[in-house]
């Protein structure tokens, strides 16, 4: 079996075809914190979704979007030569990403060469990408601040992509920071980092996350007002009833 056939077989076996999680789900997730999302995913049986050690590199540190995945391998002269000019899968990722997508690059944790500099990142911004996330490195950090795009990486380096990497695949299942990311999965980032949400549970996570954030805000207000933690966090039976009544009134419905 050829390498391309193997890639296709892997693609089919893992069921990685992109699906479209509705925009309203993404809008809800934008208001949910990384710790909340991570906790909900663990309860649902997804313990490995946080992309550990990735650092936000610009002042733009919040995003939500669908994964456009890219897989980089160690470079080799003949393979790199075959990807010259318009055949470059690396550049194709930046030229074909869709609005609202997050470019997620599996660089195998190798930070010896950058996956992007400021010019390619500017192209992502122009095309409406939500962010770039990689377990590799980025470069041109000072110039990146003016791009206005959330960027999360494991490292920083001035060394160019082709000196260490060659892009092998686009929109296939990848490992980024030790987490399986499928094309179309939902990535959410904030100052604490990035989490990947499987498409199948994105709506459930969004609904549970919105409720958790609302309940936690209620707890915070009670603690600010002097309520002991034993009653406010988690909510006592009495405060839970008050919370449900407040939430029901806000929705214009009776509490269940």
> What pLDDT is recorded for position 48?
98
Question: Could you tell me if 182 and 189 are in contact, meaning their C-beta atoms sit under 8 angstroms apart?
Answer: no
- The reported pLDDT for the residue numbered 218 is 92
Taking the C-alpha atoms of residue 73 and residue 84, their distance in angstroms, rounded to an integer, is: 16
**Domains, the chain, with CATH or none:** 3-198 (3.50.30.40), 205-251 (no CATH)
Angle formed at CA 141 by CA 139 and CA 145, multiple of 5 degrees = 135
CA 32 to each of CA 8, 189, 223, 235: distance values in angstroms, whole numbers, following the listed order:
35, 10, 21, 20
What sign for the dihedral angle of Cα 209, 70, 178, 110?
Answer: negative
Question: pLDDT truncated to tens, each residue of the chain (256 aa)?
Answer: 333 333 433 344 455 566 689 999 999 999 999 999 999 999 999 999 999 999 999 999 999 999 999 999 999 999 999 998 888 999 999 999 999 999 999 999 999 999 999 999 999 999 999 999 999 999 999 999 999 999 999 999 999 999 999 999 999 999 999 999 999 999 999 999 999 999 999 999 999 999 999 999 999 999 999 999 999 999 999 999 999 998 877 666 544 4
Is pTM beyond 0.85? Reply is yes
Given this model, what pLDDT does residue 254 score?
44
């Amino acid at each position: 079996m050829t390498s391309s056939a193997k890639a296709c077989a892997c693609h089919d076996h893992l069921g990685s075809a992109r699906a479209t999680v509705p925009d309203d789900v993404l809008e809800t997730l934008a208001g949910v914190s990384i710790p909340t999302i991570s906790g909900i995913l663990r309860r649902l049986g997804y313990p490995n979704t946080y992309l550990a050690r990735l650092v936000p590199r610009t002042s733009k540190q919040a995003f939500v979007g669908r994964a456009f995945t890219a897989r980089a391998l160690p470079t080799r002269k003949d393979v790199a030569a075959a990807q010259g000019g318009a055949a470059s899968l690396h550049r194709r990722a930046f030229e074909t990403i869709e609005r609202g997508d997050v470019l997620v690059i599996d660089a195998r944790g190798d930070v010896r060469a950058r996956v992007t500099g400021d010019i390619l990142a500017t192209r992502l911004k122009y095309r409406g990408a939500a962010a770039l996330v990689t377990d590799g490195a980025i470069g041109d950090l000072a110039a990146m601040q003016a791009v206005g795009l959330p960027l999360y990486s494991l490292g920083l380096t001035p060394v160019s992509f082709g000196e260490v990497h060659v892009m092998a695949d686009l929109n296939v299942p990848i490992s980024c920071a030790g987490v399986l990311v499928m094309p179309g999965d939902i990535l959410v980032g904030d100052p604490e980092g990035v989490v990947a949400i499987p498409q199948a549970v994105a709506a459930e996570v969004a609904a549970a996350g919105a409720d958790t954030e609302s309940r936690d805000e209620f707890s915070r207000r009670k603690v600010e007002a002097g309520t002991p933690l034993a009653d406010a966090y988690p909510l006592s039976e009495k405060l839970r009833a008050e919370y449900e009544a407040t939430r029901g009134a806000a929705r214009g419905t009776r509490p269940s």
